[in-house]
Amino acid sequence: MANAIIGQSGGPTAVINSSLAGIFKTARDGGIKKIYGMKNGLAGLLREEYIEVDWYIKNEFDIELLKRTPSSWLGSCRYKLPDFEEGSSVYERIFKILNKLDIKYFFYIGGNDSMDSVAKLARYGENIGSDIRFIGVPKTIDNDLDKTDHTPGFGSAAKYIASVVKEIILDNMVYGAESVAVIETMGRNAGWLAAASALSKSEECAGPDLLCIPEVPFDYDEFYNKIEELRKKKKSIVVVVSEGIKTADGKYLCEANNMRSRDVFGHASLGGTALYLTDFLRTQMGIKTRENILGSLQRSASHIVSRTDITEAFMAGGYAVHMALDDETGRMVTFNRLSDDPYRIEVASHAASEVANIEKKIPGEWITKDKGFVTQECISYIKPLIQGELFPFMVDGMPLHIYL
């Protein structure tokens, strides 16, 4: 049997290494000879930077530790493959390296840009008659991949966000004085992460009072009025806002504050939305504010993860190996939901080309009529994804990780 190679691409998640562990374990147990890991995804592969995974992951404990290690263990990249009609030299180089390593199975764990790479590589392979199988494993905290019920990584980010929002809600009411806490989540064009904060709503917690998500154009007057309405009812107000909210004319709220560059995909680096809003609340409305920008921890907090998510991430990796061994290529692993309660899914797959470059947003019918919250249907959709815990291995008071 030939060899396999695994890459991780795009922003990390708390469970991206669980998918890596799932691929590695299933490939190893399935008799694949050598299992390579690209360092920093395709960008690293093009520089012939790779490792043999079993030099580092030697036993079942290492696999468990890898599952509990945040960030991308192999390193990541934001490399975008050119269309091969524009020039095939990069493709020739990649296939030359893969052939040199006797790779037959290529696994790429990533978001929609990564699925674009999987689709392109599979198509190029087909064109040149290569037998290398290219399989994508979905990964993104943003939950914005199409053709799958949800993405590995989202459940843990959702659990993290809902848990810390619940803590910040308690924190914000401590002085009994009027105060608006603005909590900024990631989310460029889709509001899934901000919506996850609604799961903090429970018997003993009122949840956030207002969500501002990219699916709803931001309107200053409406925001002002909603806050004024809330002020009449309560002193401690909590607003959760996606970093990527825009006004109706398509301008990011944070753009005025933001002096940063765009990434290689042309995506603006966002940030500053919460600061902008707290400034608005202070200067225009005279309210005491506090902002909490959840930052990198949304994608790297492995000290609180969803066991459902980490298990599904592992399973998606394993399924990818079975697909490759079954001679499939150019496809991404997907989840179909069979029911919310009891929660049941089936694992399936879809053409990666049809996933790439589409961003799945919160459907309009899951946004409340006043545009300031999500419906019970949306909450019921997210809730199963945050169930269960997998605590880190604690050594000397600290979570243990595995480093490359």
| 117: contact with its own copies by CB under 8 A | no
Please name the amino acid found at residue 202: S
Q: Which is nearer to its own copies, 161 or 323 (CB)?
A: 161
Phi, psi of 378 (to 5 degrees): -65, -45
Q: Is 142 a catalytic residue?
A: yes
Q: Which is nearer to its own copies, 265 or 391 (CB)?
A: 391
Stretch that binds its own copies, among 88-96, 142-150, 241-249, 396-404 (CB under 8 A): 396-404
Q: Which of 355, 339, 321 is nearest to 105 (CA)?
A: 321
Residue 125's Cβ-count burial label (10 Å; 0-12, 13-18, 19+) is buried
The single residue among 188, 303, 322, 337 that binds its own copies, judged by CB under 8 A, is: 303
- Order of all β-strands in the sheet with 35-38: 50-52, 35-38, 3-8, 103-110, 133-138, 331-340, 343-351
Q: What is the 3-state secondary structure (H, E, C) of 208-236?
A: CCEEECCCCCECHHHHHHHHHHHHHHCCE
Alpha carbon distance 110, 67 (integer Å): 16
Q: List helix spans (H) across 70-180.
A: 89-100, 112-128, 154-172
Q: List helix spans (H) across 217-296.
A: 220-233, 273-285
Phi, psi of 242 (to 5 degrees): -75, 140
Alpha carbon distance 196, 382 (integer Å): 7
| 48: contact with its own copies by CB under 8 A | no
Listed in sequence order, the residues at least 6 apart from 103 whose beta carbon sits closer than 8 Å to its beta carbon are 2, 3, 4, 5, 36, 132
Instruction: Give me the 123-162 binding string for its own copies, x by CB under 8 A, dash otherwise.
Output: ------------------------------------x--x
The single residue among 103, 277, 293, 310 that binds its own copies, judged by CB under 8 A, is: 293
How is residue 2 written in tokens? 């030939």
Instruction: Give me the 211-250 binding string for its own copies, x by CB under 8 A, dash otherwise.
Output: ----------------------------------------
Stretch that binds its own copies, among 85-93, 210-218, 322-330, 385-393 (CB under 8 A): 385-393
- Binders of its own copies among residues 4 to 23 (CB under 8 A) are 11-12
Q: Which is nearer to its own copies, 301 or 355 (CB)?
A: 301
Among 116, 142, 209, 309, the active-site one is 142
| 340: contact with its own copies by CB under 8 A | no
Instruction: Give me the 257-276 binding string for its own copies, x by CB under 8 A, dash otherwise.
Output: --xx----------------
Stretch that binds its own copies, among 18-26, 131-139, 346-354, 379-387 (CB under 8 A): 379-387
First to last CA, the chain: 26
Least Å distance, CB 328 to its own copies, is: 29
Least Å distance, CB 396 to its own copies, is: 7
| 40: contact with its own copies by CB under 8 A | yes
Least Å distance, CB 35 to its own copies, is: 21
Q: Given phi > 0 = left and psi -120 to 50 = alpha, else beta, which region is 2?
A: beta
Q: Which of 247, 251, 255 is nearest to 276 (CA)?
A: 255
- Binders of its own copies among residues 55 to 114 (CB under 8 A) are 69-72, 75-78
Residue with tokens 């079942």: 60
Site residues for its own copies per CB under 8 A: 11-12, 39-40, 44, 69-72, 75-78, 159, 162-164, 166-168, 170-176, 181, 199-200, 202, 204-205, 259-260, 279, 282, 290-293, 295-297, 299-304, 306, 383, 386-389, 391, 394-403
Q: Which residues are catalytic?
A: 142
